[in-house]
Amino acid sequence: MIRLPVRVLPHGAGLPLPAYQTAGAAGMDLVAAVEAPTTIAPGARALVPTGLAIALPEGYEAQVRPRSGLAARHGVTVLNAPGTIDADYRGEVQVILVNHGEEPFVVSRGDRIAQLVVAPVTRAAPVVVEDLDETDRGAGGFGSTGRS
Protein backbone atom coordinates (compact mmCIF):
# COMPACT_ATOMS: atom_id res chain seq x y z
CA MET A 1 0.00 0.00 0.00
CA ILE A 2 1.37 3.44 -0.91
CA ARG A 3 1.05 6.59 1.17
CA LEU A 4 -1.29 9.23 -0.32
CA PRO A 5 -0.91 12.70 1.24
CA VAL A 6 -4.27 14.53 1.23
CA ARG A 7 -4.82 18.22 1.90
CA VAL A 8 -8.32 19.08 3.09
CA LEU A 9 -9.38 22.44 1.68
CA PRO A 10 -11.59 24.77 3.74
CA HIS A 11 -14.81 23.75 1.93
CA GLY A 12 -13.95 20.06 2.47
CA ALA A 13 -13.71 20.34 6.25
CA GLY A 14 -15.80 17.77 8.07
CA LEU A 15 -16.20 15.47 5.07
CA PRO A 16 -14.76 11.95 5.00
CA LEU A 17 -11.45 11.29 3.27
CA PRO A 18 -11.50 9.02 0.21
CA ALA A 19 -12.11 5.50 1.47
CA TYR A 20 -12.41 1.93 0.22
CA GLN A 21 -15.88 0.63 1.08
CA THR A 22 -14.86 -3.06 1.10
CA ALA A 23 -11.63 -5.01 1.53
CA GLY A 24 -11.63 -5.94 -2.17
CA ALA A 25 -12.55 -2.52 -3.59
CA ALA A 26 -10.22 -1.11 -6.26
CA GLY A 27 -11.44 2.47 -5.88
CA MET A 28 -11.91 4.87 -2.98
CA ASP A 29 -15.14 6.82 -2.91
CA LEU A 30 -14.95 10.57 -3.43
CA VAL A 31 -17.62 12.78 -1.88
CA ALA A 32 -19.11 16.09 -2.98
CA ALA A 33 -17.92 19.22 -1.17
CA VAL A 34 -20.73 21.43 -2.47
CA GLU A 35 -21.87 24.22 -0.15
CA ALA A 36 -25.52 23.80 -1.15
CA PRO A 37 -27.40 21.13 -3.12
CA THR A 38 -26.56 21.32 -6.83
CA THR A 39 -29.06 20.15 -9.44
CA ILE A 40 -27.82 18.65 -12.71
CA ALA A 41 -30.57 18.80 -15.34
CA PRO A 42 -30.99 15.96 -17.85
CA GLY A 43 -28.30 16.37 -20.52
CA ALA A 44 -26.34 18.85 -18.40
CA ARG A 45 -22.99 18.56 -16.64
CA ALA A 46 -21.48 20.03 -13.50
CA LEU A 47 -17.98 20.38 -12.08
CA VAL A 48 -18.32 19.06 -8.53
CA PRO A 49 -15.64 19.91 -5.96
CA THR A 50 -14.31 17.32 -3.50
CA GLY A 51 -12.59 19.75 -1.14
CA LEU A 52 -9.36 17.74 -1.45
CA ALA A 53 -5.95 18.09 -3.06
CA ILE A 54 -3.60 15.10 -3.24
CA ALA A 55 0.13 14.49 -3.72
CA LEU A 56 0.57 11.29 -5.69
CA PRO A 57 4.00 9.67 -5.58
CA GLU A 58 6.06 9.95 -8.76
CA GLY A 59 5.25 7.02 -11.05
CA TYR A 60 1.55 6.93 -10.11
CA GLU A 61 -1.67 8.46 -11.41
CA ALA A 62 -5.16 8.62 -9.96
CA GLN A 63 -8.15 7.83 -12.15
CA VAL A 64 -11.53 9.40 -11.41
CA ARG A 65 -14.15 6.83 -12.38
CA PRO A 66 -17.94 6.65 -12.25
CA ARG A 67 -19.89 4.91 -9.49
CA SER A 68 -21.91 2.11 -11.03
CA GLY A 69 -24.92 2.69 -8.77
CA LEU A 70 -25.29 6.32 -9.89
CA ALA A 71 -25.03 5.27 -13.52
CA ALA A 72 -27.49 2.38 -13.22
CA ARG A 73 -30.11 4.15 -11.09
CA HIS A 74 -29.87 7.74 -12.31
CA GLY A 75 -27.89 7.80 -15.56
CA VAL A 76 -25.25 9.98 -13.86
CA THR A 77 -21.63 9.31 -14.74
CA VAL A 78 -18.19 10.91 -14.95
CA LEU A 79 -18.04 12.76 -18.27
CA ASN A 80 -14.34 12.26 -19.05
CA ALA A 81 -14.11 8.77 -17.54
CA PRO A 82 -11.61 7.96 -16.48
CA GLY A 83 -10.35 11.38 -15.61
CA THR A 84 -6.61 11.36 -14.95
CA ILE A 85 -4.87 13.13 -12.09
CA ASP A 86 -1.13 13.36 -12.75
CA ALA A 87 1.49 12.96 -10.04
CA ASP A 88 2.58 16.61 -10.38
CA TYR A 89 -0.94 18.11 -10.00
CA ARG A 90 -1.58 19.80 -6.66
CA GLY A 91 -4.92 21.50 -7.26
CA GLU A 92 -8.34 20.45 -6.05
CA VAL A 93 -9.68 17.11 -7.22
CA GLN A 94 -12.93 17.89 -9.00
CA VAL A 95 -15.37 15.57 -10.76
CA ILE A 96 -17.20 16.36 -14.01
CA LEU A 97 -20.59 14.70 -13.63
CA VAL A 98 -23.06 14.41 -16.51
CA ASN A 99 -26.72 13.51 -16.22
CA HIS A 100 -27.72 11.12 -19.00
CA GLY A 101 -30.93 10.33 -17.11
CA GLU A 102 -34.45 11.61 -17.69
CA GLU A 103 -34.84 13.38 -14.32
CA PRO A 104 -32.88 16.18 -12.66
CA PHE A 105 -30.22 14.82 -10.30
CA VAL A 106 -29.38 16.58 -7.04
CA VAL A 107 -25.85 16.42 -5.61
CA SER A 108 -25.75 17.18 -1.89
CA ARG A 109 -22.82 17.76 0.42
CA GLY A 110 -21.20 14.45 1.36
CA ASP A 111 -22.79 12.41 -1.45
CA ARG A 112 -20.48 9.74 -2.88
CA ILE A 113 -20.05 10.89 -6.47
CA ALA A 114 -17.10 9.00 -7.99
CA GLN A 115 -14.28 6.57 -7.32
CA LEU A 116 -10.56 7.30 -7.15
CA VAL A 117 -8.28 4.51 -8.38
CA VAL A 118 -4.53 4.96 -7.80
CA ALA A 119 -2.41 3.07 -10.32
CA PRO A 120 1.21 2.84 -11.45
CA VAL A 121 2.14 4.59 -14.69
CA THR A 122 4.34 3.08 -17.37
CA ARG A 123 6.01 5.66 -19.59
CA ALA A 124 6.64 4.98 -23.27
CA ALA A 125 9.18 6.38 -25.72
CA PRO A 126 7.65 6.72 -29.23
CA VAL A 127 9.99 5.48 -31.97
CA VAL A 128 9.33 6.06 -35.67
CA VAL A 129 9.46 2.84 -37.74
CA GLU A 130 8.75 2.03 -41.39
CA ASP A 131 6.39 -0.89 -40.67
CA LEU A 132 4.57 -2.44 -37.72
CA ASP A 133 4.48 -6.16 -36.99
CA GLU A 134 1.49 -8.04 -38.43
CA THR A 135 -1.39 -9.35 -36.29
CA ASP A 136 -4.57 -11.28 -37.05
CA ARG A 137 -6.62 -8.11 -36.44
CA GLY A 138 -4.39 -5.82 -38.45
CA ALA A 139 -5.91 -2.36 -38.99
CA GLY A 140 -9.47 -3.50 -38.14
CA GLY A 141 -11.07 -0.76 -36.10
CA PHE A 142 -14.24 -0.32 -34.05
CA GLY A 143 -16.31 -3.49 -34.03
CA SER A 144 -13.87 -5.40 -36.24
CA THR A 145 -13.60 -8.33 -33.81
CA GLY A 146 -17.35 -9.10 -33.93
CA ARG A 147 -20.07 -9.24 -31.31
CA SER A 148 -19.44 -12.57 -29.59
Report the binding-site residues for substrate. Answer: 67-69, 80, 84-86
* Cα torsion 14, 15, 17, 20: sign: positive
CA distance to 46, 101, 113, 130, per residue, from 29 (Å): 18, 22, 7, 46
Binding site residue list: 67-69, 80, 84-86
| 5 close to 54: Cβ distance less than 8 angstroms | yes
Distance CA 41, CA 100 (A): 9
